[in-house]
Each structure stands twice: as C-alpha cells, then as structure tokens.
Amino acid sequence: MSELSYEEAIKRLEEIVSKLSDGECSLSESIELFDEGTKLAGLCNELLNKAEQRIKVISKGNENE
C-alpha cells in the first residue's frame, strides 16, 4: 500500500466511503473496507507530513539566499 501516491490513496478512500455509504456491504466487507480506509488515511497523513517537511526545507533554503 505504501507504493500508492497521495492521489491514488485519496481516490481509493473516496471509493471506500462511497461503498460504505451505500449500505449494501455485508458486515464482514464493511469491516475490511474500514480497515483498508484506516490504513489509507494513515498513509495520506504520512505523505502530507513528508510534503510539509520538504516545503519547510525548501522555504528555509530560500531564506538563506
């Protein structure tokens, strides 16, 4: 899962939310989707944190010029 880009992870999360919102999934499938969604949300958070750190480094480098 960690090989997904931020955009791919968000798209999959949207698909999961849509499926869960339909209410047509079995309990077992809903739990599996929820688990996958939780992992995807964590991945997105990690990717955003890394991007934020890169931006801080870039901004700091530009201040020194």
Q: What is the pLDDT of residue 65?
A: 63
**Which two tokens mark 4?**
């997904």
**Residue 41 to residue 47: CA distance in whole angstroms:** 10
Helix axis angle for 6-22 and 27-63, nearest 10°, is 150
Would the pTM of this model clear 0.75, i.e. be above it?
A: yes
| pLDDT mean over 3-17 | 96
pLDDT band at 1 (very low <50, low <70, confident <90, very high): confident
CA Rg, the chain, in Å? 17
Query: Do residues 5 and 29 touch, judged by C-beta distance below 8 A?
Result: no
20-65 pLDDT, tens per residue? Answer: 999 999 999 999 999 999 999 999 999 999 999 999 999 988 776 6
Q: What is the pLDDT of residue 54?
A: 95
Neighbouring CB atoms inside 10 A of 40's CB total: 20
